[in-house]
Structure formats: structure tokens, C-alpha cells
Amino acid sequence: MEIKTYLNEQRLVVEGALEKYMPAAEVENGLFSVHIEAMRYSLFAGGKRIRPILCLAAGEAVGARPSLETDLLPIACALECIHTYSLIHDDLPAMDNDDLRRGKPTSHKLYGEAGAILAGDGLLTWAFDLLSNSEKSKLLPEKRLAIIHLIARAAGSLGMVGGQLLDICHENKEFPFETLRAIHRNKTGALITASILAGGIAAGADQAQREALRRYGEQVGLAFQIVDDLLNATSTTAQLGKAAGSDACRGKATYPGFFGIEATRQKAGAAVAEAESALNIFDAKADPLRAIARYILTRSH
Amino acid sequence: MEIKTYLNEQRLVVEGALEKYMPAAEVENGLFSVHIEAMRYSLFAGGKRIRPILCLAAGEAVGARPSLETDLLPIACALECIHTYSLIHDDLPAMDNDDLRRGKPTSHKLYGEAGAILAGDGLLTWAFDLLSNSEKSKLLPEKRLAIIHLIARAAGSLGMVGGQLLDICHENKEFPFETLRAIHRNKTGALITASILAGGIAAGADQAQREALRRYGEQVGLAFQIVDDLLNATSTTAQLGKAAGSDACRGKATYPGFFGIEATRQKAGAAVAEAESALNIFDAKADPLRAIARYILTRSH
């Protein structure tokens, strides 16, 4: 399997589905066109689509059936909506105050702060609209409710939103490594793990499979965050599409800040190895998940 | 029925349930305590709880059964979480820039802009956590999914969030009355109507009952907004608990601005009469809904 080809193909599948599932600027006679344009701008401003792709790959790992992709895509797209909303709000002047994201102006630079806050609010709410839309899914209602609850818990105050506030509160402060772990686990890890578990649950994962997917998700999320820290510390702005070195400027604690570059690379490698070992109970259908874990590591070099 | 006593009793029921359903500052060893405190501050800063009370009253109108209140309360509380999040975000400097809400400092005055944005994000997400939490509800999964979808649609880009952007975009501009209707219908009407319909669906409303509740909801939402406009134009800041006359200062179009005070009062009365007539198919169990509609009107004098 050529991982880059796979990721590219899956990215296009996700983007096609997003195009289909998002409201068009023309709905309601264009009443909401500016707002919908703002949501679409951030949603289609690039991005690796890693959460939706992990969701699809976890579904594949548990077992394919003809309608699986159709059932998974609304979930995958909802996850991307939530991720995008979190980036829009994180970039706001009151938070990280970033002007660039993926090499393009951030939402508030184009739509103003109010427009950006509402674009984020709209995307978050649309995620739950999509997850609960019975025209879009043939999954059993019980399963869909479990998936909604899993995602809401991971995205909310006891997960991503809580992690973002922790992150902000600890800028320019000394704190122990355990706090950095808690920030990562909540701010980025929780939604990544939920993306993988949601795909597994939709595909009918049993208890042992769910547990394996959870362990895989936690380690992949950790590796992902460590590599993000590494890239921020070692890349140029042009390579990154956002301000390089911004973590250090802002007094954000990072893995390289605690352990240095080399030991941090080793920790990323260890997390990926643990992620792979969590998948031992799966057969070759989990190869995409395995390849994604290894691919995350290559981004750090 | 003494409406003030009823509203007060129901408010206490809702507040008791909110207390039970919201996370405590101590969860996760207090990791998220500041954030949870910020959410609770706004949620418990007063408020009429009109959306949750309408939800409970609509359930009663359709028909009581022993477990009805238990099934309705998570929905009612989720609606109040969504309403509160919308107030927190509306009050932000980038939006209405209000320092006072219900006579108390607004969220960003106490928790900073980042803290307030995240408190709003947290409350919105918690609403969907609560609606999808199977430990909190014995309603059929199909019904719960339908209610989640109804609420997400009403709260999102094609409802409340879209309406808020419309409102902001039209400040200090001339526009026709139809635009004011569209702003009201989406910014406040959509979630009020959804609150009523959600209660009805949970209680098993048939098609005709749903249609009647929708008509009631639209007219009550309209009356509510007209009376808000009237109060803003005619009260003092002390009476209102927020800056009086702020609509006119900000160049916001209002019903009194289009029609003058007296004709606006008449329009509020007409909306309430239409709301009552929509309830003709219901028996005395709908008396609370009828009394609430009439009560809204008394606030305008």
C-alpha cells in the first residue's frame, strides 16, 4: 500500500462528501450566504482530513460491508466540521491571534471577529445536525446516539474545549510535564481517539476491538501532537503555512521544550510503535491504520 | 392557574435539573474547574428559563405520563445551555459588546474573551452531550435523534446562528421590514419553536399536534421578540438588567422603529391571540401554554 496515494484518495472522498453535506450559499434564497461562505472558506482551505480519514480507516479495519462508506461519511464530515470550528476559534485574536492558517488568511481576517466566531458556532452545530440527520444514514438509531455522545464528550468541556482553555491558561507559565500531557490528551487527543472509535462503532466493533481502537487512537493522537510540536520548532513559516516557532514565542510548553529535539523524536517513534501493537488483534484490513501511524512519524523529519 | 406561581415553580424544577446535569468543577480532579465555573456562572446568573419551561409545558399539553418530566428535563436543560451559550457569544466585544447581562457582569468581563468564547463553545457542546446521553433518558432512540436534529437545525446556521449574523450585518443600515422578520424568526424564533416542538415530540405528539405546536411556537416567539423590542425602547437600565435603549444606540432596527410604540403593542397582542388560537385542538392540559402566551404580553406594559 502506498500511503500517500491512499491518503490523497481518501482526502478526495471526504472533500466530495463535505461538498455534498454542507449547505450551499443559495439556500433560503441566499439569506445566510455570507455566513455559509465563511464556514465553507475554512472547511475547504486545505487540511489533511486526518480525523475523517482515521474514522473511515477504523471502519474498514473492523470490517467492510457494501454500505459502510455511506454510513461513515456523515460521521467523518461531522468530525471535520468540529475540527475546523476549533481552528477558527483558536486563531481568534482573543486566543492564539494567528493571521495565517494553511498559508491562507484566517477566518477573522476575512470575515471579521464576529463572522469568525459565528462561522465556528455554525460548523460545530452543523456537525450535530449531520450526525442526527436520518436522511443521511442507515445506521441503527442506538449506534448513532452512542456515536453522537462519544463525539460530544470528546469535543466538549471535558475534552477538546477544556483542553484549549488549559492550554491558554498555561501560556508563559512553568508547569510539570503531566500538565502538558493533559493539555495534549484533551485539546487534540480526545477528538482523534473519538474519530477512530466512532468509525469502529459504526462498523460494529465488539468490546475488544473498541478497546484496541481506543489504545491505537490515544497513541496516534500523542504521536500527532509530538510531531506538531517538532514541526513548529524546526520548520520555516513557508513550510508550515502558519507562523513557525510561534509556540516558543508565545511561551507555550512543548515536547522539545521538555526533552530536546532528539529525545522528542524518539518519543514520537515509541508512540507509533505502541499504536501499531494495539492493532495486533486486527488482520490486514487494519493496514491503512498501521500505515497512517507510521506516516505521522515521517512528517517529523 | 396563577401563571407567576407556575413559572416560578417550573423555573426551580429546571434549575434543579441543570444543577444535576452540569459537570461539577471538581470532575477530573478539578482539571477543568475554571472553565466549568465560567459555564456555570452564566447558566446560573438568573434568566426566566422560558425555553425549557415551554418545552415542559408542550409535553404536558400533549399528555402526561409518569416518566414524562424525567424524559423532558434533559431536553429542557440542553435548550437552556444553547440559549446561554448564544447570550455569552452575543455579548462579546466583537458582537454586541455588552458589559451587563441580567444585572451582572457578562462572561468576558469576568473570564476574559477567550474564557467566554470557550464557555459558550462548552455549553453548546454540552447540550448535545446531554441530548445524546442514554443514561439520562428512556425515550426511544428514534425520537431522541429526531429531537437532536430539530434542535441542531434550529440552533445552527439556518436558524439562530445565521440569524445572529444577519442581525450584526444589518446594524446601522436601512432595510425592509421583511428583513427584520427574518432576523427575528431565525435569531430568536427558531429555538423557541424548536423548544416547544421538542417537548411535543418527546411526549408523542401526532402530526396535527406537531403542526399546532409549531404555529403556537412561531407566534409566541414573535410576541416574545416584539415585547423585547418594546422593553428595550421604554425601560430603564435598572429595570432591564442590561443597557436600556441600546438597540437604538446601535442602530438596530426594531418593531417600535418601524411602527411606533402603540402599533407595536397591538402587533404583540395579535401574535398572542394567534398563538392561543393555534392551541384550539388541545384540551385543558394546554392551559399552561395558553397562560404563558398571555403572560408574555403583560411584560410589555
Radius of gyration of chain B (CA): 19
DSSP-derived pairing of the beta strands A104-105 and B100-101? unpaired
Beta-carbon separation of B156 and A32 below 8 A: no
pTM of this structure:
0.96
Nearest-CB residue to B125 (from A112, A161, A165): A161
Instruction: Round to whole Å and give the CA distance between B294 and B296.
Output: 5
What's the rounded mean pLDDT across residues B175-202? Answer: 96
Residue type, B48: K
Residues in chain A closer than 8 A to B141 (CB atoms): 140-142, 144-145
Candidates A26, A33, A139; CA nearest to A76 is A139
Asked whether the beta carbons of residue A169 and residue B125 sit closer than 8 angstroms, the reply is: no
CB-CB under 8 Å, B164 with A34: no
Inter-chain contact B115–A165, Cβ cutoff 8 Å?
yes
Among B37, B110, B118, the strongest candidate for a mutation testing the A interface, having the largest count of A CBs within 10 A, is B118
Structure confidence at residue A172 (pLDDT): 85
The three cell numbers of residue B167 are 442581525
The verdict on a CB contact (< 8 Å) between B129 and A149 is yes
With CB atoms and an 8 Å threshold, state whether A157 touches B182: no
pLDDT digit string (tens) for chain A, length 301 residues: 699 999 999 999 999 999 999 999 898 889 999 999 999 999 999 999 999 999 999 999 999 677 888 899 999 999 999 999 999 999 999 999 999 998 999 999 999 999 999 999 999 999 999 999 999 988 999 999 999 999 999 999 999 999 999 999 998 888 999 999 999 999 999 999 999 999 999 999 999 999 999 999 999 999 999 999 999 888 765 566 666 566 665 677 889 999 999 999 999 999 999 999 999 999 999 999 999 999 999 876 5
Distance from CA of B35 to the nearest CA of A (A): 7
Residue A252, pLDDT score: 78
Round to whole Å and give the CA distance between B42 and B45.
5
Q: Does residue B299 carry a pLDDT above 80?
A: no
Contact A145 B132 (CB under 8 A): yes
Q: Which residues from A are below 8 Å from B158, CB to CB?
A: 23, 27-28, 32
Q: Smallest CA–CA separation between A270 and chain B, in Å?
A: 27
Under DSSP, is residue A47 helix (H, G, I), strand (E, B) or coil?
coil
Residue type, B95: M
Residue that has been written with the C-alpha cell 427575528 in this structure: B184
Select from A86, A100, A74 the least CA-distant residue to B145: A74
Q: Is the pLDDT of residue B20 over 90?
A: yes
Q: What is the mean pLDDT of residues B25-45?
A: 94
pLDDT at B240 over 80: no
How far A43 CA lies from chain B's nearest CA (Å)?
Answer: 14
Spatial CA neighbour of B99 closest among B90, A118, B225, B184: B90
pLDDT surpasses 90 at B173: no
Q: What is residue A242's predicted lDDT score, i.e. its pLDDT?
A: 61
Contacts of B89 in chain A (CB under 8 A): 117-118, 121
**A137: closest chain B residue by CA:** B145
Contact across the interface for B31 and A144, Cβ inside 8 Å: no
pLDDT on residue A233 = 84
Contact B161 A122 (CB under 8 A): yes
pLDDT at A120: 98
Q: Tell me what pLDDT residue B111 has.
A: 97
pLDDT per position as a tens digit, A30-69: 999 999 999 999 999 999 999 999 999 999 999 967 788 8
Shortest distance, CA B165 to any CA of chain A (angstroms): 7
Average pLDDT, chain A: 93
pLDDT-derived band of residue B233, with 50, 70 and 90 as boundaries? confident
Q: Best of A27, A138, A161 to disrupt the B interface by mutation (most B CBs within 10 Å)?
A: A161
* Cβ pair B28, A158 in contact under 8 A: yes
Mutate to test the interface with B, among A32, A40, A160 (most CBs of B within 10 A): A32
Q: Are A41 and A97 in contact (CB under 8 A)?
A: no
A172 to chain B nearest CA, in Å? Answer: 16
pLDDT tens-digit profile of B87-119?
A: 999 999 999 999 999 899 999 999 999 999 999
Phi, psi for B254 (deg, rounded to 5): -140, 170
- Report, at the CATH architecture level, how domain A3-298 is classified: Orthogonal Bundle (1.10)
ipTM: 0.95
8 Å CB contact of A161 and B39:
no
At A29, the amino acid letter reads N
pLDDT at residue B238, rounded to an integer: 57
Q: Which amino acid is at B102?
A: R
Which of B27, B113, B148 minimises the CB distance to A158? B27
Which of B76 and B239 is assigned the larger pLDDT?
B76
**How far apart are the C-alpha atoms of B109 and B125, rounded to whole Å?**
22
Q: What's the CA gap between A250 and A257, in Å, rounded?
A: 13
Judging contacts by C-beta atoms under 8 Å, the chain B residues touching residue A92 are: 113-114, 117
Are B89 and A132 inside 8 Å of each other by CB?
Answer: no
Q: Cβ–Cβ contacts within 10 Å for residue A178, how many?
A: 8
Lowest mean pLDDT among A11-15, A224-228, B170-174, B275-279: B170-174
pLDDT at position B234? 82
- The set of residues, in sequence order, having a beta carbon less than 8 Å from that of B60 and lying 6+ positions away, is B68, B203, B285, B286, B288
